[in-house]
Amino acid sequence: TQLLEQSPQFLSIQEGENLTVYCNSSSVFSSLQWYRQEPGEGPVLLVTVVTGGEVKKLKRLTFQFGDARKDSSLHITAAQPGDTGLYLCAGTTNAGNNRKLIWGLGTSLAVNP
Amino acid sequence: DAGVIQSPRHEVTEMGQEVTLRCKPISGHDYLFWYRQTMMRGLELLIYFNNNVPIDDSGMPEDRFSAKMPNASFSTLKIQPSEPRDSAVYFCASSFSRGGMGGRNQPQHFGDGTRLSIL
């Protein structure tokens, strides 16, 4: 069974701090997607990483896909209260026409003003 | 363009009652997914459709759950009879199959969910 483990599970920081959250697996994924979910809403895609070693930046957010395509990280610089939410990673496989995403349980981030 | 629309947003009912959740996917999307989210288990895929045809229902917990997609713009998830352990937030998501790798990397677009409480 393919699993994605996210850490830490919970994180509470002050505005302006930097943080990194992780998404790890023993399985290889063809791509990883990162979503953010705010209370009362569904997850919204932030980025998709496809190539091993790939780094993508979205303003203050930096996403990296591991060289072996088994893990990924999300780094936030100078966190703001608007970054508060549940960060979910989800992996895709090359298995035929399978459209299932393998989801992590998420990192719940609270940024305090 | 409107996003994925789910109804109702909240449902509170007594155990044993039938519950019907509704979803309108984004126009033009050919994949539709039903998920259940709880604190303990996270997001669980229940079933997904491609071009209105169920492709994988291995995540449906038991026979009390059923899902239909009679046309490209509407899907339902029914629970009959409902039980307290079915209480969760249920999400519908849609995506389309264009793009590289058969669209496998396309994002899933989620509705705002239905918060279901079975008393």
Taking CA atoms, what residue in A is nearest to B50? A99
**A-B contacts (CB, under 8 Å):** 57
Say whether A43 and B43 touch across the interface (CB within 8 A). yes
Reference A89, options A72, A75, A69, A113; nearest CA is: A72
Contact B35, B43 (CB under 8 A): yes
d(CA B19, CA B90): 12
Structure tokens at A94: 């090359």
A60-112 pLDDT, tens digit per residue, is 999 999 999 999 999 999 999 999 999 999 998 766 667 889 999 999 999 99
d(CA A90, CA B56): 18
pLDDT band at A1 (very low <50, low <70, confident <90, very high): low
Mean pLDDT of A19-36: 94
| Type of residue found at B102 | G
B25-52 pLDDT, tens digit per residue, is 999 999 999 999 999 999 999 999 999 9
A77-90 pLDDT, tens digit per residue, is 999 999 999 999 99
d(CA B59, CA B36): 10
pLDDT band at B100 (very low <50, low <70, confident <90, very high): low
Say whether B112 and A40 touch across the interface (CB within 8 A). yes
Pick A99's closest partner by Cβ from B4, B48, B91: B48
Say whether B110 and A43 touch across the interface (CB within 8 A). yes
Taking CA atoms, what residue in B is nearest to A95? B104
